[in-house]
Amino acid sequence: MLGTLRHRLHETFVRWALRVRPPEPAPIVLTQRRVYVLPTRAGLAYATALGVILLGAMNYNLSLGHALVFLLAGLGIVAILHTFRNLALVSIRPGRCEPVFAGGRAQFDLVLENRRFDARSSLRLFIADETPIEVDIGPHASTVATLNVSATKRGWLPMPRLTIETTWPLGLIRAWSYAVPDLNCLVYPTPATKAPPLPWSDESARGSARDGRGADDFSGLRNHQVADPPRHIAWKAVARQQDGPLLTKLFSGAAAQQLWLDWEALADTLDTEQRLSILARWMIDADAAGLAWGLRMPAVRLAPDNGPAQLNAGLRALALHEHGAP
C-alpha cells in the first residue's frame, strides 16, 4: 500500500516536472526550471557532521572549530551550484534506433549537446530499472548516448521516460531532470524457431531472375540450403560421392524461382502471432538463399523481389500488422 502511494506521488511529480505533454519536440533543453537538486546520503551525512562540529565548537568556545564549520559549509554551498550547473542547459536530440526482433534489446541513440564553455562531467542516463550509462561532454561539443530497452512486443516501441542526473563534483548533491524524446523503435515479430518448409508450388516457381539463379543455363553447384527447392538438388552429383553434402544446381537466365509467402496458406489453427513468426522465418530463410519472394497478407501485398530492401519491407509489414498502415 505504501509502495503504491509512493509510486503515484512520484508519477504525479514527474508529470509536473516535465512541464510539457510527452513526447517532447526536439531539441529538449534542460532549462533551470527543469533541473532539481537534493542532497545525497553522503550530503546528509556531511551536513550532520557539520552540525556536530558546530555544537562542539560552541560548547568549548573554539574559534578554529567555528572557522572549520564555516569553511566546510561554504564548500557545500559551492558544490550545490557546480552540481546544478553541470546539468543545466544540456540539450537532448533524438538520434536513431534500428529495428529489432521482439525479445531483443532496442537501442535508442540520443545526441547530448553542451553549448557552454565548461565541460559537463559524469552525467548518468537511465530508463526505469535499466543499468545507467555515464557520459562526459566537452566544451561546445556533443556526444551520443545509447540506451538499451527490452523489446517485448512487435510494433512501434516509443522511448520510455529518460532520467538524467549528476552528483559531480563532490557527490554531496544530486541534480536530476526528466525528458521524453520523440523517438520510436520498430519491433519485428520473433522468427519462429520451428517453421514448416518454404511453401514451394507451381505458382511459386514462376517469375524472373533477380540474382542470376534462373533455370535456363546450368552455371555450377553449391552447398544445399534449407530454402532451396528439392527439384534443384543435384542428385547425380550427390550419388557419385559417399557421405557427401547435398548440392544445389545454380542456373543463369530468366526463369528463376519466385516464392510467394501467403498468409492464407498457413494452417487455420495458428493464431495471428504464430503466423507472423512463421512468415518472418520464411522471409529470413528466403533472403539467405537469395530467392525472389513476394508476400500476400490481408492488407498488404509485396511483389516478388529480393535483397535487404525487400526483407525490410516484409518485416515492417509483419511488425505493423493490425497496428496501422506499414
* CA–CA distance, 279 with 274 (Å, rounded to integer): 9
pLDDT of residue 4: 80
pLDDT of residue 153: 93
Whether the predicted pLDDT of 192 surpasses 90: yes
* CA–CA distance, 150 with 160 (Å, rounded to integer): 11
For 240-286, write each residue's pLDDT tens digit: 555 666 667 655 544 455 689 999 888 889 999 999 999 999 999 88
- Give me the residue spans of the domains in the chain: 7-188, 217-319
State the pTM of this model.
0.79
Q: Averaged over 48-53, what is the pLDDT?
A: 96
Residue predicted with more confidence, 193 or 188: 188
Rounded mean pLDDT of the chain?
85
pLDDT of residue 79: 96
pLDDT of residue 194: 86
* CA–CA distance, 36 with 182 (Å, rounded to integer): 23
pLDDT of residue 321: 92
57, amino acid identity: A
Whether the predicted pLDDT of 202 surpasses 90: no
For 55-111, write each residue's pLDDT tens digit: 999 999 899 999 999 999 999 999 999 999 999 999 999 999 999 999 999 999 999
pLDDT of residue 224: 66
Cβ partners under 8 Å of residue 162, min gap 6 = 92, 110, 125, 126, 127, 147, 178, 179, 180, 181
